[in-house]
Structure 1
């Protein structure tokens, strides 16, 4: 009896948006430390543990400092000189950097959401295909991670203006958007201020990440 051929799973990239200056916080959020690790390091580790490769990290504010101080664990750093124009420019830069990769899709993570877990990433990776659009769901709210199939990258980039990110594109493709429940394994709260960080340190989000 012959052996069934085996095929390696198609690669799913991770795109970590970590370029912002953290105006409300007072410094770039990529360099904020939570539970002994910089937020950008946590995001890279989450993406890798979630099954993503390659991992691209888009840097902007204090990019040189992030490169020096953060252990990016083999993630590819991409500089976004237009980071001050908003998150959309970082999304465009990251998708452009993935253009030559073999990835069929990209999982988008924001650096200021330390409650996103590998389990949440894996749920989206499991659905990945070149035509897939998916977002994590938290009750009646949608959040990150977001999965963008390769066939959508050009359209997402065309609409990623200012801080809108992929929202406009996802809205236009609502009928094909998959919402993946993740509230039981992750928390998509973002860290915008020192008060938010205090809450994270008290364990409301760290427990979800490390538990």
Structure 2
């Protein structure tokens, strides 16, 4: 999930969200997991998740997107400087869980997030704490495609290029709990026959912050 790019061999079908989705009493219960445990090694001495964009920590921007998208329940996975990151999420409706293995790669946070989900959720959206410009509408687009089509693994896209966040039906939860390394659920997304990209028209789904130069470009 951490890699927003893709090779031609990983090209997935591109779909567009429906024009409208009506109210549905049986709508799926979609959880949100915020991955906010990393060490920010390329950002220098500071924790990039706590760097500010428009006066607000990056991680809080990312968290507010999931809240505004209407996902529930919400889980934040923290690790590096966990107390400070948790404080940045104060007042938001997240259950915060610690990943003591955060330095072993993003997959450990994905596993921790899956383990923390309520057993009755139908699907989950994974969002990255270093992506402050994702629109709530882009998250809802993933949910709307899931509700109206048969895809089980989805990634937000801009101009046909894969980005984040990503969406998985519960049938993938066991596989997500078994991922390793720093790719998160990328292999599950790119290998599945039920996988697709959702065109959002939102450049924010391709814009993460790895370095201070990245953050300066958000200004």
TM-score (norm 2): 0.81
SS of corresponding position for 1:178: strand
What count of residue pairs does the alignment treat as equivalent?
193
Counterpart position of 1:119: 137
Q: 1:77-156 residue pairs with structure 2 within 5 A?
A: 77-98=96-117, 100-128=118-146, 132-156=152-176
Q: 1:27-66 residue pairs with structure 2 within 5 A?
A: 27-66=46-85
**Aligned alpha-carbon RMSD (Å):** 1.9
SS of corresponding position for 1:43: helix
Pair 194,127 (structure 1): closer, same or farther in 2 beyond 3 Å = same
SS of corresponding position for 1:127: helix
Pair 142,194 (structure 1): closer, same or farther in 2 beyond 3 Å = same
What 5-or-longer segments of structure 2 have no aligned partner? Answer: 1-23
More contact order relative to length (CA 8 Å, sep ≥ 6): 2
SS of corresponding position for 1:112: coil
Q: Distance in 2 between matches of 1:43 and 1:72?
A: 14
Alpha-carbon offset, residue 65 of structure 1 = 1.7
- Given that 1:44 and 1:55 are in contact with CA atoms closer than 8 Å, whether structure 2 keeps it comes out as no
Q: Distance in 1 between matches of 2:60 and 2:143?
A: 20
- Given that 1:17 and 1:58 are in contact with CA atoms closer than 8 Å, whether structure 2 keeps it comes out as yes
Counterpart position of 2:211: 193
SS of corresponding position for 2:154: strand
Alpha-carbon offset, residue 136 of structure 1 = 1.2
Counterpart of 1:18 (choices 36, 61, 66) is 36
SS of corresponding position for 1:126: helix
TM-score (norm 1): 0.84
Alpha-carbon offset, residue 187 of structure 1 = 3.7
Q: Distance in 2 between matches of 1:177 and 1:131?
A: 6
